[in-house]
Amino acid sequence: MGEVHHETVYFSGHVQGVGFRYSVLQVAKEFDVAGFVANLADGRVHLEAEGRKDDVTAFIEAVQEKMPGYIRKLERTNRKRPAEFRGFAIK
């Protein structure tokens, strides 16, 4: 597939124990993205997503719209890189 847009996102707030990862997985089904979502020991949720830039951006915005009362802070980094994932999963 060559180079894809890749984003690493860390969500902070009340994001564990509330179905956050499952909700992210459901939203991912609506977009042409690949990657994973996982809880971290420090209470944050880690998201890796790759695909076309427009798809990845819209996916992350849709996650924010679906879980607005739970997300207090969002840290995002992005870059172009070779595709690494197939499908989207909860880790």
Residues contacting 30, CB < 8 A, separation 6+: 59, 62
pTM of the predicted model as reported, rounded to 2 decimal places: 0.94
**CATH number, position 76:** 3.30.70.100
Query: Which is the catalytic residue, given 39, 52, 72, 81?
Result: 39
Query: Which is the catalytic residue, given 21, 76, 78, 86?
Result: 21
Domain count, the chain: 1
Cα–Cα distance between 91 and 76 in angstroms, integer?
Answer: 19
Residues in the chain: 91
Is residue 39 among the annotated active site residues? yes
Is residue 21 among the annotated active site residues? yes
Please write the tens of the pLDDT for every residue from 31-88.
Answer: 999 999 999 999 999 999 999 999 999 999 999 999 989 999 999 999 999 999 999 9
4 near 57, Cβ under 8 Å?
Answer: no
38 near 45, Cβ under 8 Å?
Answer: yes
> Which residues constitute the domain of residue 75?
3-90
